[in-house]
Amino acid sequence: MIRTVATKPYDDQKPGTSGLRKKVPVFQQQNYVENFIQSVFDCLEGFEGKTLVIGGDGRYFNREVIQIALRMAAANGFGKVMVGQGGILSTPAASNIIRKYGAFGGLVLSASHNPGGPHEDFGIKYNASNGGPAPEKLTDAIFAKTKTIASYKIADFADVDLDTVGTFSAGGISVEVIDPVADYAALMESLFDFAAIRKMFASGFTMAFDAMHAVTGPYAVEILEKRLGAKPGSVRNFVPLPDFGGHHPDPNLVHAKKLYDLMMSAKAPDFGAASDGDGDRNLIIGRGIFVTPSDSLAMLAANARHAPGYAGGLKGIARSMPTSGAADRVAAKLGVGMYETPTGWKFFGNLLDAGMATICGEESAGTGSDHVREKDGLWAVLLWLNILAARQEPVKAIVEKHWAEYGRNYYSRHDYEGVETDAANRLVSALRAKLSSLRGQSFRGLTVETADDFSYLDPVDQSVSSNQGIRVLFEGGSRVVFRLSGTGTSGATLRVYIERYEPDAAKHGIETQEALADLIAAAEDIAGIRAATGMDAPTVIT
Ligand code: G16
């Protein structure tokens, strides 16, 4: 039976950088989930009888929302739903399933790297038929709909058993519970030289992969240990838990400190890596050296030809604006296009679909390619492994040779989390107001060349996205970028991105914060962060 249920709108369902993210109790309010899903469906056209993919990162509330989504998909006229066993699909795996099976779209249930649990975060994101996050035009329409929604449609049927692989009939539609790993593992096998990587492991190469009790555990065990022969135990924290074991599943130097400490110790394996809550981010650490995500993007692009899937060369490289310019130098050398987009993976979608870019990346530990339309944590790990197997050199040597060839982009991001929202907005408005007057001014001996609020003209559909982050560019190529996070769920997070280019190889061994000290001080002089936030120091430095 299909019911139409009257509802009242909520005013806070604006999808952010990566979908709608809120605390679990917010999602648990009456009809909150239903309103959002109905608003998504109401903004789509032509899905009758078609397939919807539903997957999540296994966090708290995942299963409940999947059951609601199944009932609403049936009531709204989808013909079939594909859902990962146990409600699990990593974000890149969901993107692959949508593409591989020609689904109409998918609901990705995740709050990514944010913590999970009854009082932590949850999220819902709609991905379109290309497998990528809905473009801004669609998320704007969804938000508008959430503000006027008056009813939703839902079918009545008992909970679907999500733990058994197979095809079931429920509410007049077919529900296929699929193995979440198989299709993804096959895709990876088609891109990388598994034989060469297997040989490297067989000859004694060691690695530590931290799945952070999040979604990549089953994927990493299957691919790294079973298919590639990494020693059992190479994958740590591989059981996905609804609260990620009480940890923050964000693969950065703060939350993956144990792995970092191991990689800097005498007991370090050859290679260390981690992924986040939903499997789209990555952390890469060599023995004795952390590879920043911006550097990793550049190095993967420069060496991609070693992997069979990219042996034909790259069509282009894309990076988000705050990501360092290291990849730009690689693109220039390869003679391929370089695209600078706003923050958020959705902006890469058009470039990938149009065949203008092959590899994309963000400073926030996201790297990926045109094999799916999401960033992909394990993909980055496997491409590194493929490169290591082909070059037969340690990570450190590869990194240092890269810097010697291209120069080094010293880079760091300083986050101020939990800032009072009004204070954060005031800081940004004040910065905007003085942009034009900054030009020519000197701070700590650095002269401002230009300052602007980044605006992006999509070269494919000509859409414009403005106010995407304040950039202050100094003479000589250094820069500081200020922007407010679009993914936080409590207060505001101010992100300050700091970058300095150093061509001289003799100066490539400086500690990062030290190398950036002048710029960090200049950022404080320009924005008055301490006074505005009441904070003496960033809460997270990556
Ligand atoms: C952050 C990062 C972005 C990233 C986004 C979503 O956004 O800065 O680069 O695209 O998270 O990532 P995920 O899908 O892994 O959550 P923001 O707006 O918080 O800076």
pLDDT the model gives residue 315 = 98
Ligand 1, atom 11: closest residue by C-alpha:
487
CA 303 – CA 384 distance, rounded (Å):
9
Q: Which amino acid is at 107?
A: L
pLDDT the model gives residue 254 = 87
pLDDT the model gives residue 344 = 92
pLDDT the model gives residue 294 = 97
Return the HEC string of 206-264.
CEEEECCCCCHHHHHHHHHHHHCCCCCCCEECCCCCCCHHHCCCCCCCCCCHHHHHHHH
Residues within 6 Å of ligand 1 by CB: 17-18, 112-113, 280-281, 320, 343-345, 362, 364, 366, 485-487, 495
Kindly give the distance from the C-alpha atom of residue 344 to the centroid of ligand 1, in angstroms, as a whole number. 6
Top mutation candidate among 110, 248, 348, 364 for ligand 1, by most atoms within 8 Å of CB = 364
pLDDT the model gives residue 180 = 97
pLDDT the model gives residue 246 = 93
Q: Tokens 């002089």 label which residue?
A: 525
**Quick check: 32 and 26 in contact, CB under 8 A?**
yes
Residues 6+ apart with CB under 8 A from 259: 208, 210, 236, 272, 274, 283, 285
Give phi and psi for 134, each to the nearest 5. Answer: -55, 140
- Give the C-alpha distances (Å, rounded to integers) separating 143 from 52, 86, 455, 491: 21, 30, 22, 20
Taking alpha carbons only, the member of 445, 442, 519 closest to residue 482 is 519
What is the atom index within ligand 1 of the atom nearest the CA of 21? 16
Low-confidence ranges of the chain (pLDDT < 50): none
Kindly give the distance from the C-alpha atom of residue 401 to the centroid of ligand 1, in angstroms, as a whole number. 30
Joined together, the tokens standing for residue 518 give 């002048």
Ligand 1, atom 13: closest residue by C-alpha:
112
Joined together, the tokens standing for residue 76 give 């709204």
Taking alpha carbons only, the member of 78, 175, 96 closest to residue 132 is 96
Q: Which amino acid is at 183?
A: D
pLDDT the model gives residue 487 = 79
CA 79 – CA 56 distance, rounded (Å):
20
What is the atom index within ligand 1 of the atom nearest the CA of 345? 10
Active site residue 174: no
pLDDT the model gives residue 136 = 86
pLDDT the model gives residue 16 = 86
Kindly give the distance from the C-alpha atom of residue 135 to the centroid of ligand 1, in angstroms, as a whole number. 15
Joined together, the tokens standing for residue 253 give 């130097």
Joined together, the tokens standing for residue 350 give 């058009």
Q: Around Cβ 202, how many Cβ atoms within 10 Å?
A: 10
pLDDT the model gives residue 100 = 98
Q: SS3 of 424, please? A: helix
Phi-psi map region of 150: left, alpha, beta (phi>0 left; psi -120 to 50 alpha) = alpha
pLDDT the model gives residue 73 = 98
Please state whether beta strands 271-275 and 282-286 pair in parallel, antiparallel, or not at all (unpaired): antiparallel
Q: Interhelix angle for 62-76 vs 32-42, to 10°?
A: 40
pLDDT 10s digits, 333-387: 999 999 999 999 989 999 999 999 999 999 999 999 999 999 999 999 999 999 9
β-partners of residue 446 are 443
What is the atom index within ligand 1 of the atom nearest the CA of 125? 14
Pick the catalytic residue: 39, 95, 112, 275? 112
